[in-house]
A and B are shown apart, each in its own frame.
Chain A
């Protein structure tokens, strides 16, 4: 077995809030660390974010390395790579795991080359290889229908990015204690070549944890009014397939599938969706799938619990009417 001393987790924060996927990664890292006797260390960069270090400890980190500086307030490739590469070179962690958000991927890809480390991307399964103790990450390819099981055969740390919504975060444990070590940041503003000239962030919609989701596909013709109304009535969220998101009809935050969000809901009502492989991986964890499609041979019916062959523009208004009257 490879000896592990430490597993690092990148604690991504935006606007002073920890990303959910970072907590999910902490949960997974704790599980792996307990098997190999390693310590889980959270790597936290930002400005005035010390309270997030406390939060991460309650969610599974045993220690935190904190770099707190005004130049680190917003994620930037240059500054974050510089600071984190310095820490890795100094302390040599055995593994380093990131959430596969846009920023997590931007950072991990750059760091891997700077550090000469192997990187396994967007994993949906993560375990230890019995013979060697190396991390085995399963990476979905070809739209999610095939998994490639990968490992880092040389270079350290073993780097991994993890798809959001796959692993479970630990519930907060108020009694947990951990070390917080603050490190000096030597970056000077004048050394930084890039700058953020504008930033607009609304409340990020996270439909990955929603209990009910109504999803519209190409069959809606881009008209999501029925989808939205039904979602509202059943207290659920709206999702879309990739073509609708690509056409700019809906934001990527609510795009379901291999390159978007993976759902974990109890119920998904899927209307006008053909069922491409890259979409199906996004609803695989849904407990109950109802599909409505005009084409009886649509692939979505091979992956639904209840199948309705018919026109969504006829069926959904009827359904909406019935639920409205039900609710009075």
Chain B
């Protein structure tokens, strides 16, 4: 079985701030990581590989700075990693992003299952996975937390409101994987050292992907960001209740009573 895991590298969400005057993101000093849900997607793929054998390839679109993170994915057990990188890809919204990734998958060829995280921690639109599936013309099963392959078909359990459903689809298929549905493995120490020192990341630019400038990046985007703004938080009283346990309980009771 040939599996591709689409991965994004995202800044750690809790470290990102907005510059109050320029209204741009302050990126200095912000650490980045493999998008958490994508790690769950990778773990799910590696699990299937453990059971059925096969190959797991990590695919990402972004700047060369993604390299150490993709090497980490290889250290975790991915067989190969490919970075789609070109200045022309910059500024892409979900439409060209899903297109570019789909073109990478097409170039790889003969892929059975494509895994994505359900969404990313920076923008969190959840739209890239269905977009890729549509570009490839294959079925999608989103918000998946459990998967098995039976008789050449995928059976995946996906979360719906109030419960779940199990969907069966023929291969090839795209799955978006629920954040937190498994515990991503730690990289093996020796494999990590090998990945860092010897593994060579493949980088494909727009020519190698066979796409034109008009099909990718900002030019091919349907949406633009007009501005960024700080989410205004409600003003709170911030009153500390101090005293003996009895006094604290007494005061809390007084507040809660109004709502009983």
Q: Which A residues lie at the B interface, using CB under 8 A?
A: 14, 19, 74-78, 81, 101-103, 105-110, 112-114, 116-122, 129, 136, 138-155, 193-205, 211-212, 234-235, 242, 245-247, 252-253, 258-259, 266-267, 269, 276-278, 280-281, 284-285, 288-290, 301-310, 314-315, 318-319, 322-323, 326
Contacts and interface: CB of A to CB of B under 8 A. Distances in A.
Contacts of A234: 256, 259-260
A25 B245 CA distance: 46
Given A146-B229, A153-B223, A14 B161 contact: yes
Interface of B: 11, 13-14, 16-18, 25, 93-95, 98-99, 119, 121-131, 133-135, 139-143, 155, 158-170, 179-181, 221-231, 233-234, 236-242, 245-246, 248-253, 255-257, 259-260
A164 B224 CA distance: 23
Closest 6 pairs (CB-CB, A-B) = A246-B180, A204-B162, A118-B222, A109-B130, A121-B125, A109-B127
Given A150-B224, A151-B226, A308-B252, A102 B180 contact: no
Contacts, number: 278
Contacts of B162: 14, 201-205, 253
A64 B95 CA distance: 29
Given A136-B226, A288-B255, A302 B169 contact: no
Contacts of A105: 126-127, 130, 142
Contacts of B170: 193
B229 A200 contact: no
A154 B95 CA distance: 12
B85 to A, nearest CB: 22
B236 A113 contact: no
A242 B14 CA distance: 14
18 contacts: A109-B130, A109-B134, A112-B94, A113-B131, A121-B123, A145-B13, A146-B228, A146-B229, A149-B227, A153-B223, A153-B224, A154-B222, A201-B163, A234-B256, A277-B14, A304-B236, A315-B249, A315-B252
A277 B17 CA distance: 11
Given A77-B139, A109-B127, A242-B180, A118 B239 contact: no
Nearest to A288: B255
Nearest to A14: B161
Contacts of B139: 77-78, 193-194
Contacts of A246: 179-181
A284 B233 CA distance: 6
B130 A197 contact: no
A51 to B, nearest CB: 20
A106 B233 contact: no
Nearest to A311: B245
B127 A146 contact: no
Nearest to B121: A143
Chain B CB within 10 Å, residue with most, of A106, A201, A289 = A106
Given A74-B165, A102-B161, A277-B13, 4 more contacts: A106-B143, A139-B125, A253-B162, A259-B179
A102 B156 CA distance: 15
